[in-house]
Chain A
């Protein structure tokens, strides 16, 4: 089983719609979870960290489900500028260092006008 798994998409979504995607992880001892965004031919940038209680930043909401070992990202009122690849990142190493961070392949989102 892959350590961090995401649906690669693409998700084609009309502007203004709500879209959600999940990421599953295999190591139940994982402690740190993130969503990064990567635009075409650009570097990844942190979108948001994912906390146990869930967190919201404007139109973006991230949730963690430890029992089922997945994190989710919900985007409300989607904008054309939300088109990007969303990378799920999990600390899959219980040793505690950042060398345990594992990236998913990413989910490609296309917002259509």
Chain B
């Protein structure tokens, strides 16, 4: 049903591992986003790409590294994570990088860092 897919759906990784989350949108949208959703906290925007260009966001630790090779794909590369990074990571897309466009979310990757 959703036009935004994410893999894997679940991921358990150790603090020394390196892994990547993948997101793909089939909607022809120009903007893509990574969000983090932790228990009892609001969704936190991590990164935004508009027309494959990253919109600067300075509040995310460098152990999270995004990549947007084209307008349909978005990756989040993870390395040396901490247990507090365990959360649901949601990818979203919107028609353009303007706040009045609906955001379409993928099902998320539930990440556990051990």
Residues of A within 8 A of B (CB): 4, 31-32, 34, 42-46, 49, 87, 91, 93, 96-106
Interface string of B1-32 (1 = CB under 8 A from A): 01000000000000000000000000000010
CB neighbors of A among B12-61 (8 A): 31, 33, 40-43, 45, 48, 50, 55, 57
Interfacial chain B residues near A105, Cβ < 8 Å? 40-42
- Once bound together, how far apart are the Cα atoms of A65 and B103, in whole Å? 23
**A100 and B99 contact, CB distance less than 8 A:** yes
**B107 and A43 contact, CB distance less than 8 A:** yes
Interfacial chain A residues near B102, Cβ < 8 Å? 34, 46, 49
Residues of B within 8 A of A (CB): 2, 31, 33, 40-43, 45, 48, 50, 55, 57, 90, 94, 97-103, 105-108
- Residue of A49, A96, A100, A106 touching B42 (CB-CB under 8 A): A106
Interfacial chain A residues near B2, Cβ < 8 Å? 43
* Count of inter-chain pairs, beta carbons less than 8 A: 61
Given A42-B107, A99-B45, output 15 extra A-B contacts at Cβ < 8 Å.
Answer: A34-B102, A43-B106, A44-B43, A44-B105, A46-B102, A49-B100, A91-B99, A97-B55, A97-B97, A98-B101, A99-B97, A101-B99, A102-B42, A105-B41, A106-B42
Interfacial chain B residues near A102, Cβ < 8 Å? 42
Interfacial chain A residues near B33, Cβ < 8 Å? 98
Interfacial chain B residues near A93, Cβ < 8 Å? 99
- Chain A nearest CB, measured from B2 CB (Å): 7
Could you write out 11 A-B pairs with CB less than 8 Å apart? Answer: A31-B100, A32-B100, A87-B43, A96-B98, A97-B99, A98-B94, A99-B97, A101-B99, A102-B42, A103-B43, A106-B42
Interfacial chain A residues near B57, Cβ < 8 Å? 99
Interfacial chain A residues near B100, Cβ < 8 Å? 31-32, 49, 91
**B55 and A99 contact, CB distance less than 8 A:** yes
Interfacial chain B residues near A45, Cβ < 8 Å? 105
Interfacial chain B residues near A106, Cβ < 8 Å? 42
